[in-house]
């Protein structure tokens, strides 16, 4: 079973994260940020990933450091769990409706970090969570996982629904991308022979 554990401690956050792309969607998440807990639980469920997260962060300042550093740790875990990416599908995409919101995501486990994020949130906050941190989380995640990820909001009016659609759609895109591809067998899915 592919899996990874990341222990990351800085002056701003103390994180323990365990991740498996070969899971059942089981999540045990306590980030100190209720809305982020909700998003990561949805991510695990819709990706069929097993995810354990504990974060003690400086949320008395704001949620930024915790959201970004959890993105870093999760990206590190994905990269570690996939190793040389031998035998994976590599690509995945999903257009996902979340009530009035419609989100498109497309992922390529290319080894090249890029985030295309064409999303405008109607509000600055969902509860006490800054909606700008959704992009910060995914930016940190793609940098550490060396993933190309495109996120497009096709339509949407409710910030909670938009954020939820992003996490669910990205999870489903990644679920496709990390899945074993029988046609590839034990090969690395690149004409270059490396990702």
92 and 173 Cβ atoms separated by less than 8 Å: yes
pLDDT digits (tens, 9 = 90+) for 140-180: 999 999 999 999 999 999 999 999 999 999 999 999 999 99
Residue 16 inside a domain? The answer is yes
Parent domain of 69: 4-178
Residue 163 inside a domain? The answer is yes
Percent of the chain scored above 70 by pLDDT?
100
- Per-residue pLDDT at 195: 87
Residue 195 inside a domain? The answer is no
Residue 187 inside a domain? The answer is no
- Per-residue pLDDT at 193: 84
Residue 141 inside a domain? The answer is yes
Helices 64-82 and 159-178 sit at what angle, rounded to 10 degrees?
20
Residue 101, pLDDT above cutoff 90: yes
Residue 184 inside a domain? The answer is no
pLDDT digits (tens, 9 = 90+) for 4-52: 999 999 999 999 999 999 999 999 999 999 999 999 999 999 999 999 9
Percent of the chain scored above 90 by pLDDT?
93
Residue 192 inside a domain? The answer is no
CB-based contacts of 181, cutoff 8 Å, min separation 6: 87, 88, 89, 90, 189
CATH number for the domain harbouring residue 45? 3.30.230.40
* Count of domains for the chain: 1
Residue 81 inside a domain? The answer is yes
Nearest to 81 by CA among 166, 173, 164, 4: 4
Q: Could you tell me which residues are beta bridge partners of residue 151?
A: 105, 117
Q: What is the average per-residue pLDDT within 126-148? A: 98
- Per-residue pLDDT at 84: 95
């Amino acid at each position: 079973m592919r899996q990874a554990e990341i222990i990351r401690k800085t002056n701003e956050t103390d994180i323990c994260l365990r991740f498996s792309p070969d899971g059942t969607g089981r999540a045990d998440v306590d980030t100190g940020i209720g809305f982020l807990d909700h998003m990561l639980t949805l991510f695990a469920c819709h990706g069929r990933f097993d995810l354990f997260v504990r974060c003690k962060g400086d949320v008395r300042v704001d949620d930024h450091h915790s959201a970004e550093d959890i993105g870093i740790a999760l990206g590190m875990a994905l990269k570690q769990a996939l190793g040389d990416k031998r035998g994976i599908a590599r690509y995945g995409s999903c257009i996902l409706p979340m009530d009035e919101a419609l989100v498109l995501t497309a992922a390529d486990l290319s080894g090249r970090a890029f985030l295309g994020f064409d999303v405008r949130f109607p509000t600055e906050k969902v509860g006490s969570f800054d909606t700008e941190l959704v992009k910060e989380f995914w930016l940190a995640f793609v940098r550490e996982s060396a993933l190309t990820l495109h996120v497009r909001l096709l339509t949407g009016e409710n910030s909670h629904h938009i954020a939820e659609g992003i996490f669910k759609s990205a999870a489903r895109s990644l679920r496709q991308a990390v899945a074993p591809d029988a046609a590839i067998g034990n090969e690395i899915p690149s004409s270059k022979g490396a990702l």
